[in-house]
Amino acid sequence: MNPKTAKNLISMIQVIVGLCSSIGSQNLFARKGSSAVYEDPFDVGAGGASLTRAAQAGILFSNPALLPYGDGFHRWVGAEPSVLVGKESLSLASELSSGAESDPAALIDTLTKTPLHFGLSNAVSYMNKGFGLAIFNRFEPDLFVRKYGDTGLPQINFQAESYHGAAFSLASLVATRMISLGITGKYLYAAEPNLNLEVTDEAAMSKITSTTGMQSLVEHNTGFGFDVGAILFKQGYNFDLKLALKGDDIGGTKLSGSGTLKEIPASYHAGLAATIHGGVDAIHLAIDYRDVQGAYEEKMFKKVRLSSKFLFKRYVGIGVGLRDGWLAYSGEVDLILLRITAATWTKELGDSPGVDSRKIYSLGIAMGF
């Protein structure tokens, strides 16, 4: 790689790192695909089939009709901060800390082979059997400097997902416990940055590294949207069945502002679950089919999610599932006022499993009751 190209590459990485720092405080980016704007890490690691069962504030976004199901009137009040990092990012950090990549040329070569992926999320929420309120954010950037072939010049690919806003939910049982209906209103910041840039393109590099170029990447729109959910529940002595229906962004969520994203399309989802329980132990098996009408034009491996959750004495949970065509795992320990969650899953950015995947590790500590 010639010195000029290397200089451009380093300059661009510095711009993006600075941009990420800015985004982390402003939370300007928004969603991609049909996933909920916020998901609990335990649910994601269990496969993401959360229409029929979700944890903590994830209920408000997965399916508000879940609110009435549970013991007692009060459900939760507290905060749920979590951090995630890509496997490749951890490996790179380990190499840098050991001094293995002290040579600038070797460092650049490593960067052209290593995708950088990390994220932060949090939700502060209160929920009872009929009402929920949350202030939430989720920031997840991805940077990959690709080099095509041994002598190919690098191309920078940068995209980010960040969610920021507030949500409120109302829910009520109909015909005893057999039917539940719920609605969530949400206020969002939204944008969809997706940068693909060749470092040898001097005009593009000059434009994107300028103040106005950076500003264009973080332009965002705002708007109000509504989700609705329904649960059909058949309860037995040791065996329960749930059928869930969910509509996100009913009528399309219209957004205003200087950004390019003007509307989040409506999408509809269906889920089915069986729960085997005895006392306070339970096994929950679920399947979700997302975006039934194909608003996001996602492939089947992204639309179908499988989850199994094993709950012991209300203090320990283990999740195993299938998400984005990959196995996912999660675990949680509930210490009354402290809930510790660890999870791992693979996020597929390509159009089929294994094309452009990121192995992700997550750790969350929820504080509340």
Tokens representing 86 are 């890509």
Tokens representing 300 are 């089947």
For 150-207, the pLDDT digits (tens) are 556 678 888 888 789 999 999 999 978 899 999 999 999 877 777 777 766 666 666 6
Tokens representing 162 are 């960040």
Strand 316-323 versus strand 194-198 pairing type: unpaired
Specify the pLDDT at position 69.
Answer: 95
| For helices 104-111 and 3-26, angle between their N-to-C axes, nearest 10 degrees | 60
Question: Measured between alpha carbons, how far is 85 from 356 in angstroms, rounded to an integer?
Answer: 16
Q: How many CA atoms lie within 13 A of 110 on its CB side?
A: 17
Question: Measured between alpha carbons, how far is 245 from 196 in angstroms, rounded to an integer?
Answer: 37
Question: 333: which residues sit within 8 A by CB, 6+ positions away?
Answer: 315, 316, 339, 340
**Any bridge partners for residue 124, and if so which?**
79, 135
Q: How many CA atoms lie within 13 A of 234 on its CB side?
A: 6
Please calculate the CA angle 146-152-154 and round it to the nearest 5 degrees.
35
Question: Measured between alpha carbons, how far is 158 from 143 in angstroms, rounded to an integer?
Answer: 5
- How large is the greatest C-alpha to C-alpha distance in the chain, in angstroms? 72
Which of helix, strand or coil describes residue 15? helix
Tokens representing 244 are 């869930």
The DSSP call for residue 272 is E
Specify the pLDDT at position 160.
Answer: 82
The DSSP call for residue 275 is E
Specify the pLDDT at position 213.
Answer: 60
Give domain limits for the chain: 3-368
Tokens representing 158 are 């940068």
Phi and psi at 43, nearest 5°, equal -65, -40
Fold for domain 3-368?
Porin (2.40.160)
Place of tokens 């269906």: 270
| For helices 104-111 and 87-98, angle between their N-to-C axes, nearest 10 degrees | 170
Instruction: Determine whether 152 is exposed, middle or buried from the number of CB atoms within 10 Å of its CB (0-12, 13-18, 19+).
Output: exposed
Question: Measured between alpha carbons, how far is 329 from 56 in angstroms, rounded to an integer?
Answer: 18
Specify the pLDDT at position 66.
Answer: 98
Specify the pLDDT at position 262.
Answer: 85
Residues of the chain with pLDDT under 50: 21, 23-31
Residue of 32, 116, 124, 39 lying closest to 343 (CA atoms) = 39
